[in-house]
Structure 1
């Protein structure tokens, strides 16, 4: 059986206010092409189909089109909800949709009930575990502690109980969790409970293949336990990620081979750092001119119209930050107790902030602003030491 493992589509998400829906649609086209060209039998999607519990209508339309196209393809689909999804909304009409070969698993009560498939080597049980909120399942499942490890451990007990009654059946498990040994990025939502979010890899021991979702980078935690990562980058912390899906061959005795299939990249990411003139003139940076850019400027003072000037060379600059090489602000307390007046403190703050003192006109404006905040607008009182 040939399996395509993907996750974390986050349909409807933007990238620093850059619309991503057309790029997400391009990924769906790619996905269907892989299903056809690689003769995929099973597509597993391990959660976070949408980016929010109440997705935008355009994201719902794309999801509907995607599932309809997958239903018409040669592959069976098993899809679970993630922490970004509304389990109730994503799971609407799932019992009817099952008949089309698209199996949506969002209800914790169904954990332990597999989608049963078969190939020339015999049966395969696909267990879709939706994202489990420890608070939601603790009471009905009688969990001894409130944690992700306890919730997922209890889910896997149900999975193993089912598999124990199916001797000789190979197993595939989908789970949406933060599993130890993988590195997060800046774009995942924190799911920690009591400061703890990690689940040990040992929870999935004995499963022929575990398809993980939640983290946006691909990871191989064991030969049979993998994250596919998100198909698109959703933060600049993912600049070095390799985006795509896992193509898994499940043989008679388990996983025979795993191959990573690259996803189309709409635009590469670049994180640039330096003074403005260097960024604008360095020929080595020419390769980033069509990238989405996050720039950190290290000029002593803040350059005028920095974003506009950057975009003349890097038109897709999305994020601009300043990291001055000057000594940090607050070297001495901003208080009039050392004999400095309010005017002096404000003037020193401006000079520290931008590296140059206020000119005469600016100083006059600052003085009027300070005076307008005083009880006596005609008098700037200094406090004696």
Structure 2
């Protein structure tokens, strides 16, 4: 059986305020072409189809179009729900859709209905798919009558119940699961599903299958030769800047699975920049970041004025800006050290940048601050002369 393994589409999600609709559309174009060119028997989507339980209408339309086009390639499509999906909403009409070749497993009763995948162009069974939706331990334990409400316990029970329904006809058997398996590497963009010490699931739970198509973690990973995460097809956070996104193309036979990772198109690359502002703006080697979504950490000892505006002049897609002083010693600067060498106008500019979260005054504002400071100094000088102060301002100068 030849399959495409994908997961964690998170349709409807944004990237630090930037919509990902175009990125998902480009991926679906790629996935449809891949399914047709590689003549796959099935496309497996291992959970987190949507990013939220109530997706907006445009997001639903995007999924509808993608599924219709995938079915048009002649492949069967198997979809499970993830921890971000509303299982009941995703499961609506699932039995009707099976007649068109779309198999959705989001409800508990679907666990005992493995999917028999015919070989493309014939009635011969190429393999079976045990498609397990995300199982919330606190709920699933009650449904299954278990005393232990952990991911390991409920997933083990689901595997046992579903595997018992697979006919032993010599065809390979593939599992789909949405969970955090031991040995995998997380990123910042996944929702924690281990609340309450429920922990990880050992790969032994799915080791009896010819292939396990996993979802939930956003980086592609091979835990064992036949146990893999596809990862998300588009980046969800800057922690994924080092990821190569894509889809697993898997040929599964009884007792073996051979995989090839097919890279997905990159809508916009990610870049994480660290350094002093002037250095970043002048560094020729950073030309690649000019078209990327950027996360910038400035290490200037004094926060530069208008830092974001200056950054976006060269890196227009900068989305995140933070400050981290390059000062190495642990002792904080004293008040006198912070003021050393700073005149009144510069101190006012620093304060304005501080209250604005790093954005200092522009040229017009700086001129106005200069006039205000000069006027204040003149007022102080006149006041000292008028009230008979014990020292003369001109003498101090």
Identify the TM-score tier after normalising by the shorter chain: 0.7 to 0.9
Query: Residues of 1 paired with 2:53 and 2:184: CA distance?
Result: 26
Please tell me whether the aligned partners of residues 5 and 44 of structure 1 are also in contact (alpha carbons under 8 angstroms). Answer: yes
Answer yes or no: is 1:316 the counterpart of 2:313: no
Answer yes or no: is 1:175 the counterpart of 2:171: no
TM-score of the aligned structures, taking structure 2 as reference length: 0.82
Answer yes or no: is 1:223 the counterpart of 2:225: yes
Aligned residue in 2 for 1:376? none
Aligned residue in 2 for 1:342? none
Query: Residues of 1 paired with 2:146 and 2:47: CA distance?
Result: 23
Aligned residue in 2 for 1:15? 15
Aligned residue in 2 for 1:370? none
Query: Residue 331 of structure 1: CA displacement?
Result: 5.2
Among 199, 205, 208, the alignment partner of 2:207 is 205
Query: Residues of 2 paired with 1:3 and 1:37: CA distance?
Result: 12
Q: Greater shift after overlay, 20-29 or 283-292?
A: 283-292
Task: Map residues 112-191 of structure 1 onto 2, 5 A cutoff.
Answer: 112-119=112-119, 122-163=125-166, 165-191=167-193
Please tell me whether the aligned partners of residues 291 and 317 of structure 2 are also in contact (alpha carbons under 8 angstroms). Answer: yes
Q: Which secondary structure does the structure 1 equivalent of 2:291 belong to?
A: coil
Structure 2 vs 1, CA of residues 169 and 41 (structure 1 numbering), >3 Å: closer, same or farther? Answer: closer
Q: Which secondary structure does the structure 1 equivalent of 2:302 belong to?
A: coil
Answer yes or no: is 1:66 the counterpart of 2:66: yes
Task: Map residues 1-385 of structure 1 onto 2, 5 A cutoff.
Answer: 1-119=1-119, 122-163=125-166, 165-251=167-253, 253-326=254-327, 348=335, 351=338, 359=345, 362=348
Please tell me whether the aligned partners of residues 326 and 355 of structure 1 are also in contact (alpha carbons under 8 angstroms). Answer: no
Query: Residue 359 of structure 1: CA displacement?
Result: 4.9
Query: Residues of 2 paired with 1:48 and 1:309: CA distance?
Result: 38
Please tell me whether the aligned partners of residues 210 and 257 of structure 2 are also in contact (alpha carbons under 8 angstroms). Answer: no
Structure 1 runs not aligned, ≥5 long = 333-346, 367-385
Structure 2 vs 1, CA of residues 358 and 191 (structure 1 numbering), >3 Å: closer, same or farther? Answer: farther
Query: Residues of 2 paired with 1:290 and 1:156: CA distance?
Result: 46
Query: Residues of 2 paired with 1:130 and 1:41: CA distance?
Result: 21
Q: Which has the larger radius of gyration?
A: 2
Q: How many residues align?
A: 348
Query: Residues of 2 paired with 1:224 and 1:302: CA distance?
Result: 51
RMSD of aligned alpha carbons: 2.6
Aligned residue in 2 for 1:337? none
Q: Greater shift after overlay, 166-175 or 50-59?
A: 166-175
Query: Residues of 2 paired with 1:226 and 1:356: CA distance?
Result: 58
Structure 2 vs 1, CA of residues 328 and 100 (structure 1 numbering), >3 Å: closer, same or farther? Answer: farther
Please tell me whether the aligned partners of residues 176 and 212 of structure 2 are also in contact (alpha carbons under 8 angstroms). Answer: yes
Q: Greater shift after overlay, 29-38 or 194-203?
A: 194-203
Could you list the structure 1 runs, at least 4 aligned residues long, displaced by more than 6 angstroms after superposition.
327-330
Query: Residues of 1 paired with 2:84 and 2:265: CA distance?
Result: 23
Query: Residues of 1 paired with 2:278 and 2:49: CA distance?
Result: 42
| Superposed CA offset, 1:328-362 (max 9, x none) | 99959xxxxxxxxxxxxxx949948x996865984
TM-score of the aligned structures, taking structure 1 as reference length: 0.84
Query: Residues of 2 paired with 1:28 and 1:265: CA distance?
Result: 12
Query: Residues of 2 paired with 1:306 and 1:102: CA distance?
Result: 51
Query: Residues of 1 paired with 2:270 and 2:330: CA distance?
Result: 31
